[in-house]
Structure 1
Amino acid sequence: MPIFVAPSGTGPGGYNPPPVFPLEVPAVTWTDARGRTTELGHWENGWILQPGIRGFDMPAYQFYTDESPAIDGNALRGVRAQAREVFLPVTFFDSSRADFMSRKRSFLATLNPKLGPGTITATEVDGSTRTISAYYASGAEGDFGQDTSGMRWQTVGLTFSCPSPYWLGGSVHAEFGGTVAGNWFPLLPLTVRNPQVIGNITIDNPGDDVGFPVWTITGPITNATITNNTTGESFTISASMLSTDTLVIDTRERVQTAVLNGTTNWWPNLTTSSVLWGLTPGVNDIDLSITGSTSHTKVEVDYQPRFLTA
């Protein structure tokens, strides 16, 4: 049986916590697909993160190689970051058996992966956050040993499966209008390179890996080409839009859509040579070439930087 060690003060309802000590880590929350959020390290509210947290740093990588007879070594053909697992050992407790069981059942209900992906959020002391989409995989099956549970407390080791290996930073948004500079000046870290607002811009991606933007174009236009000069890739819209039209081009991996006014598939109106490119880490030199624009025309960009660590 572990030695009972607790910080000063008592838990909910004046009841001391289980024989564990709060871990000094960034604040960690779990939000399920329905928006229910649990602060997993909030000792005063009956939640204590335990030593053994894993999955907050680098993802694992898979290498694709070719080998040739009589030639030593191999040739590297590709590298991909693999899906990651996040492991969160957490103890929860309450002031009575009835309150504990209510807490436990309510929390475990938020782990149902059939509801859809949830979000793990890590918040640093400066208030900055990084998030990762996750599904509960295992760890809450129930272990009622003397070192893992009591009548009013329980420790579980929760394993979450994260389809993407990347932690996401806060959303970045900027707008550009079809008139002279000043009408739609971009928010940092985006800057205008010349006197035109729709023209040449730079986007400074602070992430550790490629970030994939969502472009929103409000008409009128007759055609548009958006080029990342840093990578040499571009995509072109080869159809006209009215002033009442809004086109959303989503370049994110495993999404990649072009939708007009929220309903109409506009993928056929992208030229066959189009590439829905991403933003490389660091400065990206972007050309926005819009013809047939007026003062009503607007281009918006949204993306979330992707990081290798929380």
Structure 2
Amino acid sequence: MPLPAKAAPRVPESLRDLPPVPQEWGRTSVVLAGSNGEGDAIPLTSVSNTVWPGILIQPGATGLDMPLYQLFSDESPNLDGSIFRSTRASAREIMIPVFLYGVDRPTVNSLKRKLFQALNPRNGYCAIRFTEWSGETRQLAAYYKGGMEGAEGDTAGFTWAKYALNFTAMDPYFYPLSPRSIKWSFGTGDPLLSDSKNLFPMEISEGVLGGDGEPLIIENPGDVEAWPVWDLRGPIRSFQLTSSSGATIKASPPGDSSDLIPAGRTLTIDTRPGRKTVRDDRGTNYWERLDTNPEFWPVAPGSTDALITVVTGSGKSAITLLFHPRYASFI
């Protein structure tokens, strides 16, 4: 026997879920600059009609989102499968199809020569810059490797040509044009003996004593960890930079009670892979002055808790943190 079906209750129109309203968003602009990004900028998205000659990116570009990862594992004769050990992002392979349009033969030849000079890897890498409608620009450093050899027929004509430009980005990540910078100041730098104050009662600033350290939160908007560059401006007698995991970069005070970093000097600790240097602004190597086994720690994506402890000398010191957020894609 059929069962009677009960009608669903009527939902007032005002309570029904409304579909999301699309946000107005313009097109992404793409610019290519050779000679390590210092050459003339060649726009790839600015041609709007056939009146003006230019170079226009075509649909079908590949390799512009998440990079390829290489996995490392071990195998055991007594276990099924493999044991994951580590992973790393591989160099990024990119293909960008472009269309060259000239109003006449000399114009298209001029566009070709402009690209020839910009793409030549002997002149350095090409900076490929993507700017979203919001105005945020991210760039990738990539070396041209092929695709502009040319072929008559369907890929070229008297006033036009099509190429599939192939690049390799040794560093697979996209970067903003400017680094993020955070600065902290420490101590008042009041001397022990003063012409304007009595010796007693004696006053010593917390910055000279070092205190318990300055907790801070570092915001990294990128998709992966970023390796910072620390600039420490003297006078500083000792310092300690500690991450939330306990990794520490530390330098104890000299045995003769002098300043580790004299006034007016700046020590730069570059933690980036392939660099990892500890030098001041005069080129003096401070590596041996760090405490044993320093751990150069990265800034994880999102919020990172850290602790800065600084013992200042007779003067006001400062620490500046700089890092370039790294993005998996240009978006």
TM over 0.5: yes
User: TM-score, normalised to structure 2's length?
Assistant: 0.76
Deviation of the 1:35 alpha carbon: 3.1
Report if aligned partners of 2:54, 2:111 keep a CA contact under 8 Å in 1.
no
Aligned partner of 2:324 in structure 1 is 304
Aligned partner of 2:161 in structure 1 is 154
Taking the aligned partners of 1:80 and 1:247, their CA distance within structure 2 comes to: 31
Q: 1:140-179 alignment to 2 at 5 Å?
A: 140-145=148-153, 147-169=154-176, 170-179=178-187
Of stretches 103-112 and 291-300 in structure 1, the one that deviates more from structure 2 is 291-300
Deviation of the 1:36 alpha carbon: 2.1
The letter of the residue matching 1:234 is T
Aligned partner of 2:110 in structure 1 is 102
**1:38 alignment partner, one of 39, 42, 49:** 42
Taking the aligned partners of 2:282 and 2:112, their CA distance within structure 1 comes to: 40
Report if aligned partners of 1:178, 1:295 keep a CA contact under 8 Å in 2.
no
1:118 aligns with 2:118: no
The letter of the residue matching 2:30 is V
Aligned partner of 2:135 in structure 1 is 127
* CA separation of 1:298 and 1:106: change in aligned 2, threshold 3 A: same
Report if aligned partners of 2:55, 2:111 keep a CA contact under 8 Å in 1.
no
User: TM-score, normalised to structure 1's length?
Assistant: 0.81
Aligned partner of 2:287 in structure 1 is 267
Unaligned runs of 5+ in 1: 1-23, 181-195
> Deviation digits for residues 217-240 of structure 1, max 9, x if unmatched?
1111112111112x2211123461
The letter of the residue matching 2:43 is E
> Deviation digits for residues 253-302 of structure 1, max 9, x if unmatched?
11211121152232222223101110111111111111124553111111
Taking the aligned partners of 1:262 and 1:107, their CA distance within structure 2 comes to: 41
1:251 aligns with 2:271: yes
Report if aligned partners of 1:122, 1:130 keep a CA contact under 8 Å in 2.
yes
Aligned partner of 1:26 in structure 2 is 28
Q: Secondary structure at the match of 2:65?
A: coil
* CA separation of 1:63 and 1:53: change in aligned 2, threshold 3 A: same
Taking the aligned partners of 2:116 and 2:77, their CA distance within structure 1 comes to: 54
Q: Secondary structure at the match of 2:113?
A: helix
1:202 aligns with 2:217: yes
Q: Secondary structure at the match of 1:253?
A: coil
* CA separation of 1:51 and 1:100: change in aligned 2, threshold 3 A: same
Identical counterparts, % of pairs: 33
Taking the aligned partners of 2:184 and 2:274, their CA distance within structure 1 comes to: 27
Q: Which runs of 4+ in 1 moved over 6 A?
A: none
Taking the aligned partners of 1:252 and 1:95, their CA distance within structure 2 comes to: 48
Deviation of the 1:97 alpha carbon: 1.6
Taking the aligned partners of 1:88 and 1:244, their CA distance within structure 2 comes to: 49
Report if aligned partners of 2:39, 2:118 keep a CA contact under 8 Å in 1.
no
**1:52 alignment partner, one of 60, 63, 70:** 60
> Deviation digits for residues 86-145 of structure 1, max 9, x if unmatched?
211011222222222122112210111122223111111111122111111111112222
Aligned residue pairs, count: 269
* CA separation of 1:171 and 1:224: change in aligned 2, threshold 3 A: same
* CA separation of 1:163 and 1:41: change in aligned 2, threshold 3 A: same
1:72 aligns with 2:84: no
Aligned partner of 2:12 in structure 1 is none
> Deviation digits for residues 139-196 of structure 1, max 9, x if unmatched?
1112222x2112222111111110112112352111111148xxxxxxxxxxxxxxx9
The letter of the residue matching 2:320 is E
Aligned partner of 1:242 in structure 2 is 262
The structure with the larger Rg is 2
